[in-house]
Amino acid sequence: MWNKVAVVGAGLIKFGELFDQSYEQMAAGAFKAASEAVDFGFDPSLVDAAFVATQRGTLWGQEGVGGNTVPSAIGLSGIPCTRIENACPSGSDAFRVGAMAVASGVHDVVLVIGVEKMRDKSTEEGLLARAAAGHPIYTRGETAPVLFAPFATRHMHEFGTTREMLAHVAVKNHHNGALDPYAHFQDEITVEQVLESPPVCHPLHLLDCCPQTDGAAAAILVPAERAAEFTDKPVYVGGFGVATDHPYLHEKSTFVGLPATVAASQRAYEMAGLGPSDVDMAEVHDCFTITEILDIEDLGFVEKGKGGQAVLDGETQLGGRIPINTSGGLLAKGHPIGATVVAQLTECWWQLREEAGERQVAIRNGIALQHNVGGRGSGVSVVNILTRPVT
Active-site residue set: 88, 335
Which residue lies nearer to a second copy by CB, 96 or 205? 96
| Region label for 227, one of left (φ > 0), alpha (ψ between -120 and 50) or beta (otherwise) | alpha
CA 56 – CA 58 distance, rounded (Å): 5
Cβ(95)–Cβ(219) below 8 Å: yes
Q: How far is the CB of 265 from a second copy (least distance, A)?
A: 13
| Chain centroid, CA 224 distance in Å | 23
Name 391's Cβ contacts closer than 8 Å, sequence gap at least 6: none
CA 29 – CA 91 distance, rounded (Å): 17
Cβ(7)–Cβ(219) below 8 Å: yes
Which residue lies nearer to a second copy by CB, 142 or 208? 142
Residue numbers at the binding site for a second copy (CB under 8 A): 49, 55-56, 58-59, 61-69, 71-72, 77-87, 90, 93, 96-97, 99-101, 103-107, 127, 130-136, 241-247, 251, 263, 271, 374-376, 379-380
Which residue lies nearer to a second copy by CB, 133 or 390? 133
Which residue lies nearer to a second copy by CB, 264 or 281? 264
Name 60's Cβ contacts closer than 8 Å, sequence gap at least 6: 23, 117, 120, 121
Q: How far is the CB of 7 from a second copy (least distance, A)?
A: 16
Q: How far is the CB of 145 from a second copy (least distance, A)?
A: 14
**CB half-sphere exposure, 192, CA atoms < 13 A:** 0
Q: How far is the CB of 155 from a second copy (least distance, A)?
A: 23
Cβ(79)–Cβ(50) below 8 Å: yes
Q: How far is the CB of 175 from a second copy (least distance, A)?
A: 30
Which residue lies nearer to a second copy by CB, 222 or 263? 263
